[in-house]
């Protein structure tokens, strides 16, 4: 049975305001894949993630994410799509005026959960998944960077999303903590989550080999294809 296409982009142009960042993007991501997106700062990693999350509009080309057509997507459909996507940011974006449990409960209430007991149960479940049950009563400022990122991941998986988008999730963390966060994403992937992670942390990439996409010169390319092209060009040079 053919794996379901979670993401499909054809000839998509990725813009940041009026600036074209990535042109002619062709991309297919199957259910259950783990994918890195690498590239220097400003090459389009974040813009790609924001486009997939319908945060940036798609005006040129075609794209579907989890069955939603991103071109001209309506606000009601955007809300439905985002319930199926978990997004992990580099800068955490936790609410600083409430504790960890209240941060997570706020998200559940905002997405339609009403029963207090069900909300509390789900919050404890996701905190268990990320190893943070004992931090439920802590305020964000009382947590280390790695602990805050674990809470952000817990927030991202509250509504059992089919797709996880991570934008530089280890960017502000030390190497040991970065490895722990990667291990968490690996476990979530093993539980069936499709993971697309933008990163420039090459130590992280070295730990888990996976399909890698490269943002370079305004294009998104599969690293395997780039390697093949380099190999082919080298052979041509040797034969000339």
Residues 5-34: pLDDT tens digits?
999 999 999 998 899 999 999 999 999 999
Residue 187 lies in a domain: yes
Q: How far is CA 207 from CA 64, 182, 210, in A?
A: 31, 9, 10
Give the residue among 80, 174, 193 at the shortest CA–CA distance from 130: 193
Is there a domain that residue 108 lies in?
no
- Range 47-64 burial, b when 16+ CB lie within 10 A, else e: bbbbbbbbebebeebebe
Sign of CA dihedral 52, 53, 56, 60: positive
Task: Answer left, alpha or beta for residue 35, where phi above 0 means left and psi between -120 and 50 means alpha.
Answer: beta
CATH number for the domain that contains residue 180 = 3.40.50.300
Q: Which domain holds residue 175?
A: 5-96+160-239
Burial 66-82 (b: 16+ CB within 10 A, else e): bebebeebeeeeeeebb
Quickly tell me which residue has 């296409």 as its tokens. Answer: 5
| 98 or 173, which is more confident | 98
23 in any annotated domain: yes
Confidence band of 227 (pLDDT split at 50, 70, 90): low
Tell me if 29 is assigned to some domain: yes
Q: Report how many domains make up the chain.
A: 1
- The answer to the question of residue 123 being in a domain is no
The answer as to whether 207 is a domain residue is: yes
Eight-class DSSP state of 189: H
Let me know if residue 102 belongs to a domain: no
Instruction: Identify the pLDDT of residue 207.
Output: 80
Q: Is residue 234 a part of any domain in this protein? A: yes
pTM: 0.88
Task: Give which of 229, 181, 217 is closest to 201, Cα–Cα.
Answer: 181
């Amino acid at each position: 049975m053919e794996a379901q296409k979670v993401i499909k982009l054809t000839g998509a142009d990725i813009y940041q305001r009026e600036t074209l960042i990535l042109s002619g993007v062709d991309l297919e991501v199957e259910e259950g894949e783990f994918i890195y997106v690498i590239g220097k700062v400003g090459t389009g990693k974040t813009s790609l993630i924001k486009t997939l999350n319908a945060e940036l509009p798609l005006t040129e080309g075609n794209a579907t994410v989890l069955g939603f057509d991103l071109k001209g997507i309506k606000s009601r459909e955007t809300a439905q799509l985002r319930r199926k996507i978990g997004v992990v940011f580099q800068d955490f974006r936790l609410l600083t005026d409430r504790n960890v449990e209240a941060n997570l409960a706020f998200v559940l209430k905002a997405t339609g959960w009403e029963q207090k007991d069900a909300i509390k149960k789900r919050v404890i479940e996701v905190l268990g998944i990320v190893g943070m049950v004992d931090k439920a009563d802590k305020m964000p400022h009382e947590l280390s960077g790695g602990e805050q990122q674990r809470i952000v991941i817990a927030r991202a998986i509250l509504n059992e999303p089919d797709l996880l988008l991570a934008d530089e999730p280890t960017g502000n963390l030390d190497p040991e903590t970065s490895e722990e966060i990667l291990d968490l994403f690996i476990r979530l992937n093993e539980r069936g989550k499709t993971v697309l992670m933008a990163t420039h942390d090459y130590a992280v990439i070295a730990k888990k080999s996976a399909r890698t996409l490269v943002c370079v010169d305004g294009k998104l390319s599969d690293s395997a294809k780039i390697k093949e092209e380099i190999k082919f060009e080298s052979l041509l040079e040797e034969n000339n």
